[in-house]
A and B are shown apart, each in its own frame.
Chain A
Amino acid sequence: RKEVEQDPGPFNVPEGATVAFNCTYSNSASQSFFWYRQDCRKEPKLLMSVYSSGNEDGRFTAQLNRASQYISLLIRDSKLSDSATYLCVVMRADSWGKLQFGAGTQVVVTP
């Protein structure tokens, strides 16, 4: 079983709509959680951290459910520029910064 699992999509979203997707992780020792964005096999770029209390960054909202071991990302008022692959990333405590990546969820925003 993969340590971090994501629905690969694609999620086809009309411009202006809301899209949400989840990621599950298997290691309960996981401590830090993040969403990365990746465009066309370019390098991943940090989108936002995920906190237990939930957090927003503009149109993006992230949630963490430790009991059920899943993370979610919601994108409101989708823009064409939001089309990308969103990577769920987990880091265990004392792991020397080693990251566990999900395979990514593809989002395609259409006009």
Chain B
Amino acid sequence: NAGVTQTPKFQVLKTGQSMTLQCAQDMNHNSMYWYRQDPGMGLRLIYYSASEGTTDKGEVPNGYNVSRLNKREFSLRLESAAPSQTSVYFCASRKPEQGLYGYTFGSGTRLTVV
């Protein structure tokens, strides 16, 4: 039972490059989320998907796009990376009927933009 799997774990990008962060869950969860964590700040929501086929902006969506490819996968794309996007990115999924106890985080992607 893998839970939430994020790839890659580490990435260094040059300013202006693009990349996609992958996230997959095998728990049949409906809702999926992307958060970023910066030093001295709490995790902030970038985008979320309440169910397959829907996506919505969170607190800090600028510079990102997402795709809910199917129920299992929720990817985050940086079209033109900027140094301000250097952060640790966490994907999470949730089974709404389990409340917060159904909330599972991936192990994170550490992204550096130079």
* B105 closest partner in A (C-beta): A43
Q: Of the 9-residue stretches A14-22, A58-66, A67-75, A90-98, which lies at the interface with chain B?
A: A90-98
Residues of A within 8 A of B43 (CB): 44, 87, 99, 101
With A43-B107, A44-B105 known as contacts, the answer to whether A100 contacts B90 (CB < 8 A) is no
Output the least CB separation between B27 and chain A (Å): 14
With A32-B99, A43-B107, A46-B103 known as contacts, the answer to whether A96 contacts B50 (CB < 8 A) is yes
Contact A42 B107 (CB under 8 A): yes
Residues of A within 8 A of B41 (CB): 103
- Give bound CA distance, A43 to B103, whole Å: 12
Report how many residues on chain A are interfacial, defined by Cβ distance under 8 Å: 24
The tally of CB-CB contacts under 8 A between chains A and B is: 61
Is B33 an interface residue when CB atoms closer than 8 A count as contact?
Answer: yes
Report how many residues on chain B are interfacial, defined by Cβ distance under 8 Å: 27
With A4-B42, A42-B108 known as contacts, the answer to whether A98 contacts B33 (CB < 8 A) is yes
* B90 closest partner in A (C-beta): A43
A-B contact pairs, 17 of them (CB 8 A): A32-B100, A41-B37, A41-B88, A43-B105, A44-B105, A46-B100, A46-B101, A87-B42, A89-B100, A97-B94, A97-B100, A97-B103, A98-B33, A99-B33, A101-B35, A101-B44, A103-B42
